[in-house]
Structure 1
């Protein structure tokens, strides 16, 4: 009866596990903090995607605190299994109490990961293209992403976490049950990667239709494609750890779970930094620039009439106001489009103004 419990071996040491756990939590916090400061400094407010990232990091912090406490019990069991620590009467009750946290910790993991996905979706919706097909595709991706999160939480083996001690020690160590549990890990990994690819397809469609240079498109696509790193970590988490016929090593599985959570939060913040730069230059990446040529507002410097505030002929004494008016109307050339047809006519030489005369 004790055999399934005390044949556990840690693939990652306790200092490495806890050190990595808090390192990713701290680093991701710095990225989140920088994101919030820049966002608030630029827009004087936070958006829905920012709150999703904050929620994802809060869940990660909660998970880290739980593991800091309950990880002591896990590594105590590893020590008993390795023969470096003696078995005591309270070992099994401790083990049962520890297993009670496995299902909630798994729910927190998927919830944190999916908060990052929903953050990306909210981010792209706010940028959103006005093309109806793009909007429809966004709603399709949202529905699929939500459905995969629900299924990932639903297929957790709650019986082997919240059940009795006999169920955990005997039934959950049965080969058929182990194979079923490992298949769910593979299925959830597939859902994780597929939803990431679907979310990545949204900015790809947008970039395909906007009128910016190829270089800028490639830069933006490279930034958004950083989510591929999250997919790589998700695959590594399962491929390295899961053997279909063997029970999963808890420390190794959650070691990579924390790496995936931290990486997802960091990548979501990096992707938003590029958008902040683009927004500051052109107000809206996927919108249309609404600049009008300000000819009517320019001072009358090309004729003899006096504009507002002019104090003498040719606008003398009003040089500073003219300069400020002209300077206020300057817009970036890359967003200014002028369409005007001009007719060129031969002008008699007698009517041409001398080149050295001032503007009248």
Structure 2
């Protein structure tokens, strides 16, 4: 949890350093302001900050997931089936984390400015990036749902009343808030992928994505 807190603090610090440039990109693509002479430099800086913050957020979220798994292992490690399922879950959750990182458009975040301008802003490229984004949301939700199985399976094998089992299961299912935030983060209706009628094309709102990544990070960390 100390590592998760350090990563959350790093995310906030990076936001203070780079969000001005990220917001400038958003205002320019929305036609609110005209790009200035230094826009390309600031765009490169904004994309760099965006990429670093996304990596930090994903790392932090998966650190919290592993914290959950380590905690639940100690509750049922003496049960063979439970222990085997736990190792399967660890492999799947780590694989989901690797997939979430792999879905990031590294060439459009850390590539040359001209590549970003000419290749990453086309309709097909934006649609492909959003498809990756949706896949990352799915693997995030799958890993959360898998983690929820552990406390519920433990509770329903204990000798307590059904009412107590339901109450405690409801508390553990608060992880569902994390899933809800993840779904909102990737929702096409939420603002990450929107149509600009004036120029008849779609763009990605990176500020929206960063905001909901941070919300997800905070929710999952404080639930633990």
* TM-score calculated relative to the size of structure 2: 0.89
- The answer to whether residue 23 in structure 2 is matched with residue 95 in structure 1 is no
Counterpart selection for 2:87 from 139, 154, 171: 139
Q: Secondary structure at the match of 2:54?
A: helix
SS at match of 2:203: coil
Q: Which residue of 1 aligns with 2:123?
A: 175
Spell out, residue by residue over 1:261-317, the C-alpha distance to the aligned partner (whole angstroms, 9 max, x if none): 11111111xxxxxxxxxxxxxxxxxxxxxxxxxxxxxxxxxxxxxxxxxxxxxxxxx
Is 2:222 the partner of 1:266? yes
The offset of 1:82, in angstroms, is 6.4
Q: Which has the higher helix share?
A: 2
Q: Distance in 2 between matches of 1:98 and 1:253?
A: 14
Query: Which runs of 5 or more residues in structure 1 are unaligned?
Result: 1-52, 269-360
- Verify: 1:120 aligned to 2:76, yes or no: no
Point out the structure with max Rg over C-alpha: 1
1:28 alignment partner in structure 2: none
Q: Is 2:197 the partner of 1:241? A: no
Runs of 4+ in 1 over 6 A off after TM superposition: none
Tell me how far 1:130 sits from its aligned partner: 2.2
Kindly state the Cα deviation for residue 213 of structure 1 after the two structures are TM-superposed.
2.0
Partner residue, 1:217: 165
TM-score normalised per structure 1: 0.57
Contact 1:121 1:199 survives alignment (8 Å): yes
Report how far residue 78 of structure 1 moved: 4.4
State the secondary structure of the residue aligned to 1:246: strand
Gaps of 5+ in 2: 195-200
What's the RMSD between the two structures over aligned residues?
Answer: 2.0
Contact 2:99 2:139 in 1 (8 A): no
In 2, Cα distance between the equivalents of 1:216 and 1:118? 27
Query: How far apart, in 2, do the equivalents of 1:74 and 1:86 lie?
Result: 15
Number of positions where the alignment pairs a residue of Structure 1 with one of Structure 2: 216
Please say if residues 4 and 64 of structure 2, whose CA atoms lie closer than 8 Å, have aligned partners that are also in contact.
Answer: yes
Alpha-carbon distance change, 226 to 162 in structure 1, aligned in 2, over 3 angstroms: same
Contact 2:192–2:208, Cα closer than 8 Å, also in 1: no
Q: 2:107 aligns with which of 149, 159, 182?
A: 159
Q: For 2:112 and 2:184, locate their aligned partners in 1 and report how far apart those are by CA, in whole Å.
A: 32
- Give, in whole Å, the separation in 2 of the partners of 1:149 and 1:83: 35
